[in-house]
C-alpha cells in the first residue's frame, strides 16, 4: 500500500492530526478553550470599540473586501481569522446594546443568556426527539408550561419554541385553517389537501398587524385576498365595531371567517388591540382567535402593566418573542396553544424518528408539535435567565422601558418642532420633525434625516409610513436608554433637519437666480 516509510508516516499523521484537530471532542479541550478565549476577547473589543450604534459603512465600501476572499486559502491561526472578521463584520455590526440604538425591535441581551449560548452551540442538542435531547426536552417543556401559566392558560395548554414571530404566526394560522376544516367540514387538510371551500376562508386582522399574517396566508394556500384588514381607532387599535361589520359583510358574500388575529404590541405604535372584546366577537362567530404578542409578551413579566394583556388567556393560540421583550439572543420565540390536542392537527409519525409506540411509552417528542424537525436548544437561554435573574428583575427592565417611553412622548409633545402621532401602550413612538412655518416637503426632510443619521451612525432610528406620509420612529427596548440619551438624539435629528432646510434653501435661491 505504501511505497516508503515516509509515505506511511505522512498517512498516520493525516489520520491522527489533521482530521480531528478542529473537531469538538474530549481530547480537544485545550483547542476549544483557546478558540473560545480568542473569540471572547474579540467580543470584548467589540464592546470597547463601538462607542456608537453603527459605523456608517456603505455596501459599496464593504463589498470589495468580500470580493477578495478566497475560501481555498485558509488562516493559520485565530488571530488572523478574527482580524479578518473584525474588518468585515464586527467593526460594522449594529450595536443593539447601545442606548442610542432605538430603531427596530432589537433588544439588548442579558449575560446569562449569552453564557447559555456557549453551552448550546458546543453540546449542539437537537430538541426534536427525546433520544436526541433528554433533559433538554424537559427544560423546554418546563419553560413552555411556565409561559402558559403567565398567559393564564389551564393545565391543558402546551407549546413549542420556534425561530421567531413569523413562524409562530404561521403555526397559529395553520392550526386555525386545519381546525376549521376538520371540525366544520369533516375534511382533513393534512391528508387530503385544501378543500374546495378554502378559497372562501377569511382571516381578520388590524390594518396595523404584522405583515407576516398576509405572508403566511399566502404560504398556506389561502392567498393574501383571504386577509381582511380592519381599520383602527384613533389610538391605532383594532376597531371592534368595524370588525363585526366586516364579519357580517364577508358572511353575506358567502365567505367563511376562520380566524381573527389580535395584536398585542403593533410594530409601529406598540399598541394593543382590545383583546377581551375581540375574544367575545371570536366566540360569537365561532372563529379561531390568535394573538400576536411577539412584542407585547414582555408585559407578562410586569405586575404593574400586566392588565394591558387582559383577554390573552381567551386566545386559542399566542405568539411570544422572547428575543424581543425577554432580552434573549436571536433566536428565541414561542408558540402557545390553549389545548395541547390542537397539535394533533400537525403531528406526523416517522418510523425512524418519532414512531407511534414512543407515545405509548410516554416518550416526549417535541417534533410532534413543531413544523421544524431539527431545532436548536434555544430554551436553555431563557432557563439560564430566569434561574439567575427571575421574572421580577426582567419585569423591572420592562417597566423602565414603558415609563421612559412615556417621558419621551411628553418630551416630543412639548417641543413645537415635532409632531407626535401616538401615545404607546409599550414603547414605540411615531413622530416627525416639522418646524413651524416650514414650506419644504416634510416627508422628504424626515427621510433625509433618517438616511443622514444612518450614514453617520451616532444614533439610529426607524422610519415608517402612515397614510402615505413618512415618519420617524423610536422603538425603545433598552432599559439603559435615558432621557438624556434621547435629548442628544433629538439634537441630532434637528441638526440633520436644519441641514436639509439650508441645502434646499440654497438650491431654491440658486434656481431663482
In Å, how far are 42, 68, 83, 114, 393 from 64, measured between CA atoms? 23, 7, 17, 32, 45
Decide which of 9 and 259 is more confident: 259
What range does the domain containing 161 cover?
A: 126-388
Task: Say yes or no: 346 and 454 in one domain.
Answer: no
Cβ proximity of 325 and 302 under 8 Å: no
Q: Is the dihedral of CA 105, 110, 114, 119 positive or negative?
A: negative
Which residues, 6 or more positions from 459, have their beta carbon under 8 angstroms from its beta carbon?
Answer: 52, 53, 100, 101, 102, 453, 488, 489, 492
Residues 267, 131, single domain; the answer is yes
In a domain, 55, yes or no: yes
Report, as an integer, the average pLDDT of 446-454.
97
Residue 204 CA to residue 228 CA, distance in Å, equals 5
The CB-side HSE value for 158 (13 A sphere, CA atoms) comes to 14
**352 falls in which pLDDT band (50, 70, 90)?**
low
159 and 279 belong to one structural domain: yes
DSSP 3-state of 484 = helix
Q: What angle do CA 38, 41, 42 make, to 5 degrees?
A: 90
Average pLDDT over residues 16-41: 86
Q: Has residue 235 been placed in a domain?
A: yes
pLDDT in tens, 113-145: 999 999 999 999 988 887 888 899 999 999 999
**Tally of domains in the chain:** 3
Q: What are the phi and psi torsion angles at 265 (to 5°)?
A: 110, 85
Residue 262 lies in a domain: yes
* 8 belongs to a structural domain: no
Does residue 173 sit in the same domain as residue 301?
yes
Q: What pLDDT does residue 354 have?
A: 59
Same domain, 246 and 288: yes
- Residue ending a domain, choose from 74, 94, 114: 94
pLDDT at residue 361 in the model:
63
- 100 falls within a domain: no
The verdict on 461 and 507 lying in the same domain is yes
Q: How far is CA 61 from the centre of its chain?
A: 29
CA dist., res. 12 & res. 17, Å (int): 8
Residue 478 lies in a domain: yes
Let me know whether 377 and 417 are in one domain.
no
Sheet bearing 288-293, strands edge to edge: 158-162, 333-337, 317-321, 288-293, 256-263, 201-206, 227-230
Residue 38: CB atoms within 10 Å: 14
| Range in 237-241, 281-285, 359-363, 496-500 the model is least confident about | 359-363
Residues 413, 267 share a domain? no
Mean pLDDT of 163-178: 96
Q: Sorting pLDDT into bands at 50, 70 and 90, what band is 364? A: confident
Residue 399, pLDDT score? 98
**Per-residue pLDDT tens for 38-93?**
999 999 999 998 889 999 999 999 999 999 999 999 999 999 999 999 999 999 99
**Cβ–Cβ contacts within 10 Å for residue 456, how many?**
16
Tell whether 84 and 157 lie within a shared domain: no
Residue 355 has pLDDT above 70, yes or no: no
Percentage of the chain exceeding pLDDT 90: 84
Of the residues 357, 388, 419, which one is the last residue of a structural domain? 388
According to the model, what pLDDT value does residue 162 have?
Answer: 96
Helix (H) or strand (E) holding 172: helix 165-184
Looking at residue 17, its pLDDT comes to 53
| Nearest Cα residue to 330 out of 340, 322, 318, 342 | 322
Decide if 341 is inside a domain.
Answer: yes
Segment 433-447 mean pLDDT? 92
pLDDT in tens, 236-295: 999 999 999 999 999 999 999 999 999 999 999 999 999 999 999 999 999 999 999 999
- Are 227 and 217 in contact by the 8 Å Cβ rule? The answer is yes
153 SS3 class: coil
| Choice between 150 and 372, residue whose per-residue pLDDT is larger | 150
Buried b (16+ CB within 10 A) or exposed e, 412-423: beeeebbbbbbb
What's the CATH number where 485 sits?
Answer: 3.90.1150.170
> What's the pLDDT score for residue 437?
82
Structure-model confidence comparison of residues 503 and 243, the more confident one: 243
Mean pLDDT of the 320-328 span: 97
**Of the candidates 340, 335, 343, 240, which has an alpha carbon nearest to the alpha carbon of residue 294?**
335
Give the residue from 252, 266, 178, 280 showing the smallest Cα distance to 222: 178
Domain termination residue (choose one: 373, 388, 403): 388
Q: Are residues 340 and 402 in the same domain?
A: no
Q: List all residues 6 or more positions away from 365 whose beta carbon is below 8 Å from its beta carbon.
A: 128, 129, 130, 137, 353, 354, 358, 359
In this prediction, residue 483 has a pLDDT band, given cuts at 50, 70 and 90, of very high
Strands (E) across 135-226 are located at 158-162, 201-206
pLDDT bin (cut points 50, 70, 90) of residue 359 is low
Q: Give dist(CA 338, CA 31) in Å, integer.
A: 47
Q: How many residues does the chain have?
A: 513
Assigned domain for 188 exists:
yes
Cell of residue 342, nine digits = 390542537
Residue 2 has pLDDT above 70, yes or no: no
Tell me, yes or no, whether 332 and 237 share the same domain. yes
Residue-wise over 65-84: b if at least 16 C-beta within 10 A, else e?
eeeeeeeeeeeeebeebbee
For residues 436 and 508, state if they share a domain. yes
Does pTM top 0.85 for this prediction? yes
37 phi and psi, to 5 degrees? -60, -45
Amino acid at each position: 500500500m505504501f511505497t516508503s516509510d515516509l509515505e506511511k508516516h505522512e498517512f498516520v499523521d493525516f489520520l491522527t492530526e489533521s482530521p480531528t484537530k478542529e473537531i469538538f471532542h474530549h481530547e480537544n479541550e485545550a483547542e476549544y478553550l483557546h478558540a473560545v478565549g480568542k473569540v471572547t476577547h474579540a467580543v470584548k473589543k467589540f464592546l470597547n470599540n463601538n462607542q456608537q450604534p453603527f459605523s456608517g459603512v456603505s455596501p459599496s465600501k464593504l463589498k470589495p473586501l468580500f470580493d477578495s476572499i478566497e475560501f481555498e486559502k485558509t488562516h493559520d491561526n485565530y488571530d488572523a481569522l478574527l482580524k479578518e472578521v473584525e474588518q468585515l463584520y464586527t467593526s460594522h455590526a449594529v450595536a443593539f446594546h447601545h442606548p442610542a440604538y432605538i430603531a427596530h425591535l432589537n433588544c439588548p441581551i442579558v449575560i446569562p443568556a449569552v453564557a447559555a449560548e456557549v453551552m448550546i452551540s458546543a453540546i449542539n442538542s437537537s430538541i426534536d426527539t427525546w433520544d436526541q435531547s433528554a433533559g433538554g426536552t424537559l427544560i423546554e417543556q418546563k419553560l413552555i408550561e411556565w409561559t402558559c401559566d403567565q398567559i393564564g392558560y389551564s393545565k391543558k395548554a402546551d407549546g413549542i419554541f420556534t425561530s421567531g414571530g413569523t413562524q409562530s404566526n404561521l403555526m397559529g394560522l395553520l392550526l386555525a385553517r386545519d381546525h376549521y376544516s376538520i371540525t366544520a367540514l369533516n375534511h382533513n387538510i393534512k391528508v387530503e389537501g385544501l378543500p374546495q371551500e378554502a378559497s372562501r376562508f377569511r382571516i381578520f386582522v388590524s390594518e396595523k398587524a404584522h405583515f407576516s399574517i398576509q405572508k403566511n396566508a399566502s404560504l398556506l394556500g389561502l392567498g393574501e385576498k383571504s386577509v381582511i384588514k380592519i381599520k383602527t381607532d384613533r389610538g391605532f387599535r383594532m376597531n371592534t365595531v368595524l370588525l363585526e361589520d366586516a364579519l357580517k359583510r364577508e358572511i353575506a358574500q358567502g365567505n367563511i371567517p376562520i380566524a381573527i388575529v389580535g395584536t398585542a404590541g403593533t410594530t409601529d405604535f406598540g399598541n394593543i388591540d382590545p383583546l377581551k372584546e375581540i375574544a367575545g366577537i371570536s366566540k360569537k362567530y365561532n372563529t379561531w382567535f390568535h394573538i400576536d404578542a411577539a412584542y407585547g409578551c414582555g408585559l407578562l413579566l410586569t405586575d404593574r402593566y400586566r392588565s394591558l394583556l387582559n383577554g390573552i388567556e381567551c386566545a386559542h393560540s399566542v405568539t411570544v418573542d422572547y428575543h424581543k421583550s425577554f432580552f434573549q439572543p436571536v433566536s428565541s420565540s414561542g408558540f402557545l396553544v390553549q389545548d395541547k390536542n390542537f397539535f394533533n392537527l400537525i403531528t406526523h409519525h416517522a418510523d425512524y424518528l418519532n414512531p407511534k409506540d414512543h407515545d405509548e411509552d410516554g416518550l416526549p417528542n417535541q417534533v410532534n408539535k413543531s413544523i421544524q424537525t431539527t431545532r436548536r436548544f434555544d430554551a436553555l437561554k431563557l432557563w439560564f435567565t430566569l434561574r439567575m435573574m427571575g421574572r421580577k428583575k426582567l419585569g423591572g427592565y420592562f417597566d423602565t422601558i414603558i415609563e421612559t417611553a412615556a417621558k419621551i412622548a411628553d418630551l416630543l409633545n412639548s417641543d413645537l418642532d415635532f409632531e407626535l402621532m401616538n401615545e404607546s401602550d409599550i414603547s414605540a413612538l411615531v413622530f416627525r420633525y416639522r418646524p413651524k412655518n416650514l414650506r419644504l416637503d416634510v416627508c422628504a426632510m424626515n427621510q433625509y434625516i433618517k438616511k443622514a443619521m444612518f450614514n453617520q451612525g451616532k444614533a439610529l432610528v426607524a422610519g415608517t409610513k402612515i397614510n402615505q406620509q413618512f415618519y420617524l420612529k423610536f422603538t425603545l427596548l433598552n432599559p439603559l436608554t435615558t432621557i438624556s440619551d434621547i435629548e442628544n438624539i433629538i439634537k441630532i435629528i434637528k441638526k440633520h433637519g436644519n441641514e436639509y432646510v439650508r441645502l434646499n434653501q440654497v438650491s431654491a435661491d440658486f434656481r431663482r437666480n
